[in-house]
């Protein structure tokens, strides 16, 4: 059965996955962009978030940050996203004009299941990405993602509130968390009032990178 993974999810040193005052112009909130400095400089990120393949010198090509970035995009057969990760539109969809943050060719290249309370037709993009909008909860989204992923894994992209729901249901098999040396003070806290050991999770790996420390947290 495909595993449900959180990969490359970055939190601040004080535990926030996004900063305060998120908006359409600042979707990660105040200071949130600083969380991802370890990721956006890697060659793996540039390869998957650009229409053209990265060339040598286009990003860091060795070391733990690069290795974890590359692992996060490998052997993924489907994605699950919270609605906030797909876009800033709230409530009922006014129309179908919002098609995501990523342009015509999003970096997923697989089926993506977006959790929402408001139905919308599936959205086919370039490069093999198809957004499916799931209105009947986290378990239904996971069932559909498993059917779509085949023998590959499923990546849970976030945001923090969505990861918290799957954690509390004990559905996540493994998390790769990158902890950035940034203090945000407020925003979306990933683990507030969540007892990971009680849920059966343990830290199995800790690797310092150049711009973040990488932790693997797995369900026993």
Rounded Cα distance between 34 and 18, Å, is 10
Where do the structural domains in the chain lie, given as residue ranges? 4-91+104-219
Evaluate whether the domain defined by 4-91+104-219 bears CATH number 3.30.930.10: no
pLDDT at position 195, please? 97
Going 103 to 104 to 110 to 111, the CA torsion angle's sign is: positive
The mean of the pLDDT values for the chain is 92
pLDDT at position 50, please? 64
Mean pLDDT for the stretch of residues 133-153: 98
Does the pTM of the predicted model rise above 0.85? yes
Q: What pLDDT digit, counting tens, does each position of 185-216 carry?
A: 999 999 999 999 999 999 999 999 999 999 99
DSSP 8-state class, residue 65: H
Q: What pLDDT digit, counting tens, does each position of 85-101 carry?
A: 999 888 999 999 999 98
Among the listed residues 145, 202, 208, the one whose alpha carbon sits nearest the alpha carbon of residue 173: 202
Instruction: Give the SS3 label for residue 33.
Output: helix
Are 182 and 31 spatial neighbours (Cβ–Cβ below 8 Å)? yes
pLDDT at position 29, please? 87
pLDDT at position 58, please? 47
pLDDT at position 52, please? 38
Q: Does 60 have pLDDT greater than 60?
A: no
Residues 6+ apart with CB under 8 A from 77: 2, 110, 148, 149, 150, 151, 152, 153, 154
Residue 61: pLDDT band by 50, 70, 90 thresholds? Answer: low
Q: Does 56 have pLDDT greater than 70?
A: no
Rounded Cα distance between 94 and 197, Å, is 42
3-state helix, strand, coil in the chain (%, to 5): 25, 30, 50
Residues 6+ apart with CB under 8 A from 126: 104, 105
Residue 146: pLDDT band by 50, 70, 90 thresholds? Answer: very high
């Amino acid at each position: 059965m495909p595993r449900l993974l959180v990969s490359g999810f970055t939190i601040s040193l004080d535990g926030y996955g996004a900063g305060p005052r998120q908006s359409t112009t600042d979707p990660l909130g105040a200071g949130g962009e600083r969380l991802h400095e370890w990721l956006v400089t890697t060659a793996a990120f540039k390869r998957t978030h650009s229409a053209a393949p990265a060339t040598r010198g286009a990003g860091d090509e060795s070391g733990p940050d690069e290795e974890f970035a590359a692992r996060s995009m490998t052997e993924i057969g489907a994605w699950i996203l919270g609605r906030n990760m797909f876009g800033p539109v709230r409530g009922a969809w006014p129309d179908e004009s919002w098609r995501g943050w990523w342009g015509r060719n999003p970096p997923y290249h697989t089926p993506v299941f977006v959790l929402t309370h408001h139905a919308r037709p599936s959205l086919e993009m370039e490069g093999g990405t198809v957004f499916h909008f799931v209105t009947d909860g986290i378990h239904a989204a996971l069932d559909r993602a498993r059917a779509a992923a085949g023998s590959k894994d499923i990546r849970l992209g976030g945001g923090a509130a969505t990861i918290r729901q799957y954690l509390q249901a004990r559905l996540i098999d493994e998390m790769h968390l990158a902890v950035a040396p940034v203090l945000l003070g407020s925003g979306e806290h990933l683990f507030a009032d969540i007892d990971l050991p009680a849920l059966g999770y343990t830290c199995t790996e800790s690797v310092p990178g150049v711009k973040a420390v990488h932790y693997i947290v797995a369900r026993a």
